[in-house]
A and B are shown apart, each in its own frame.
Chain A
Amino acid sequence: MRREIKDKTRKALMAISSVTAIAALFGIYYYLVKESLPAIRSVGAELFLSDQWYPVWEPGEYGMRALIINSLIVTVLGTLLVVPVAYFIAIYLHGFATKKEKSIVRRLIEYLSGIPSVIIAFVFLTYLSPIFPAIGIYSPQNLLLALIGLFFLTIPISTVLILESLDSVPKELEEASAALGALPLKTYMKVTTKAALPGVMNAIVLTANRIVGETIVVLLLGGGAAMVPTKLTDPFKTLTAAIASEMPEAAKFSIHYSALFFAGLVLVIFSTVFELTSVMLLRRSRR
């Protein structure tokens, strides 16, 4: 009887937690849409079509096409940079490293993943940024610097996630592959990776989401120019950087304020699209 009550209480607590999480998610969507409406009504399609981001001018202009494109550029380039490196580190740790090596490196990686992004941004700003002018690139904060910062920020979490999914594959699969004559690297890359694909996909999506939502690194290392960069050494500004730097000054309920909420809505939509794409790809790969 007592065990039954305990069990029911646990179930109820779990149900409440799930409902709260879902309600919070819908709440965020609701408020983002609600606060974005004034900007959508007053600015309309220009929000997407124009590059003119002049929110503090009279009259203000709220074209965030460049900010949106920059967020996508950073996410795509960042993910392309991080995931392959994280994957090879994970493969090495999974199959080739000794137990002791694996344990030390894993601990270190987990520790690195806990370093606040502002520290990474600050270190790169202080020590790496001055190198650019010294080698003839007269833009000390730029896309390349931000990508390097994002790389160090996301590589630990991406590696840990990929490693966990590789480690979760049953050993028998790898043994069977080896028995058929496949070399270890081929086994890990073809057999283990295929079996661990859902976890690897999840790691890629989480990496992309981490990059698209990253604020402080792009704010401090990006240079804050609201234009689409044409080369890696150009400065740029993303949606998150605009929200972080401009929200404190935006008068409440002004169009600027509403446009920044719209920027938040676009970011949430990006995250949702990444998530759905990964689900679709996963389904296709299972067929």
Chain B
Amino acid sequence: MRKFILTIAFVSLFAVFGFATALVIKGSNTMLDIAQLWVEEFNKQNPDIKVTLEGAGSSTGIAALFNGTTDIANSSRWFKDSEVQKMFEMKKWFAPVLVAWDGIAIVVHKDLPVKNLTIQQIKDIYTGKITRWNQIDPNLPARDIVAFSRNTASGTFEVFKEKVLGDEKMSPRVRMLESSMAELETVAKTPYSIAYFGVGYVDQSVKVVSVNGVMPTKQNILSSKYALSRPLFIFIDVTKGWPEEGPVAEFLRFVMSKKGQELVEKAGFVAALGQ
């Protein structure tokens, strides 16, 4: 019996240390779809490098970079001032790599006859100044607006806050959801609802409205004509210098390769190199 337990213990130890993860990627929930495609293809090309991927929000990824619990942080936003400050305090230096472009799509329930919203109208909805659809247009239903948002750990939330809300605060009536996929599914089944998320998540189950008369098409996102365009980043720790070799370097090379950028487009986003 003792021998059996020892064998099990030895095998478990081997399982833990013998197949240790070589590359950890955490962060943006928006970028999870792209990252999954990247990791799948990267694993085919580099079967010896074991990759783990987790999408819990850009802020969570950046926090993991500070804690040293991730090698790569995917982020759908730029650094916050507090994070830059923290880098100075901790004497850590993170470098950004622009890997894709995205537009934050404003989506509504597919039966809602609304085609366009201005940034001001979106702001009024999310700050609680406008609460019923017919306040936007008398022809729209006289029903309460059901607004959904990503939770505060999300990079999409941060960009939305910066580009739409400005200094004003989001109404406490706005429902916070944990992922872009949850938003998509909830809007699809909730009449009179509105939400926002990366354009790569949009499908036929919801309706995308134009913002200030501009649709989030590839051209409009790349030219920044679409008001809610944004770059997507990979952040890495370069405190000890830029990685020239090793898993992080290999992965970055792959992401910026023709294949890596094709996968960005396949996921429904816009390639960083504007393919």
Contact of B82 among A224, A225, A251 (CB under 8 A): A251
In the complex, which residues of chain B have a beta carbon less than 8 angstroms from the beta carbon of A245? 151-153, 176, 178
Is A225 a contact of B175 with CB atoms below 8 Å?
Answer: yes
Is A51 a contact of B176 with CB atoms below 8 Å?
Answer: no
Quick check: is B114 within 8 A (CB to CB) of the other chain?
Answer: no
Further contacts, 5 of them, CB under 8 A, given A251-B82, A252-B66: A55-B152, A133-B191, A140-B189, A224-B177, A225-B174
In the complex, chain B residues 183-203 whose Cβ is within 8 Å of any chain A Cβ: 186, 189-193
Quick check: is A83 within 8 A (CB to CB) of the other chain?
Answer: no
In the complex, which residues of chain A have a beta carbon less than 8 angstroms from the beta carbon of B172? 51, 53, 66, 225-227
A249 in contact with B60 given A138-B190, A224-B177, A225-B173 (CB within 8 Å): yes
- Inter-chain CA distance A141–B192, complex, in Å, is 15
A179 to chain B, nearest CB (A): 55
Is B190 a contact of A140 with CB atoms below 8 Å?
Answer: yes
Quick check: is A139 within 8 A (CB to CB) of the other chain?
Answer: yes
Is A248 a contact of B57 with CB atoms below 8 Å?
Answer: yes
Is B151 a contact of A224 with CB atoms below 8 Å?
Answer: yes
9 pairs, CB–CB < 8 Å, chain A vs chain B = A54-B170, A55-B152, A138-B143, A138-B190, A141-B186, A224-B175, A225-B176, A249-B57, A251-B83
Most buried by A among B60, B63, B152: B152
- Inter-chain CA distance A54–B161, complex, in Å, is 12
Is A248 a contact of B60 with CB atoms below 8 Å?
Answer: yes
Name B residues whose Cβ lies closer than 8 Å to a Cβ of A. Answer: 56-57, 59-60, 63, 66, 82-83, 86, 143-144, 146, 151-153, 158, 161, 169-170, 172-178, 186, 189-193
Contact of B175 among A57, A133, A223 (CB under 8 A): A223
Q: How many residues of A contact B (CB 8 A)?
A: 32
Contact of A133 among B56, B63, B83, B189 (CB under 8 A): B189
Give the residue name and chain of the B residue nearest to A138 (CB). Answer: B146
B48 to chain A, nearest CB (A): 31
A57 in contact with B176 given A245-B151, A248-B57 (CB within 8 Å): no
B175 to chain A, nearest CB (A): 4
- Inter-chain CA distance A134–B176, complex, in Å, is 21
A231 to chain B, nearest CB (A): 13
Is A249 a contact of B59 with CB atoms below 8 Å?
Answer: yes
In the complex, which residues of chain A have a beta carbon less than 8 angstroms from the beta carbon of B146? 138-139
A246 in contact with B152 given A57-B169, A138-B193 (CB within 8 Å): yes
In the complex, which residues of chain A have a beta carbon less than 8 angstroms from the beta carbon of B170? 54
In the complex, which residues of chain B have a beta carbon less than 8 angstroms from the beta carbon of A133? 189-191
B140 to chain A, nearest CB (A): 15
Contact of A248 among B83, B153, B174, B175 (CB under 8 A): B153
In the complex, chain A residues 138-157 whose Cβ is within 8 Å of any chain B Cβ: 138-141
Quick check: is A130 within 8 A (CB to CB) of the other chain?
Answer: yes
Quick check: is A78 within 8 A (CB to CB) of the other chain?
Answer: no
Give the residue name and chain of the A residue nearest to B62 (CB). Answer: A249
- Inter-chain CA distance A51–B169, complex, in Å, is 13
Give the residue name and chain of the B residue nearest to A241 (CB). Answer: B176
In the complex, which residues of chain B have a beta carbon less than 8 angstroms from the beta carbon of A54? 169-170
Give the residue name and chain of the B residue nearest to A142 (CB). Answer: B175
In the complex, which residues of chain B have a beta carbon less than 8 angstroms from the beta carbon of A251? 63, 82-83, 86
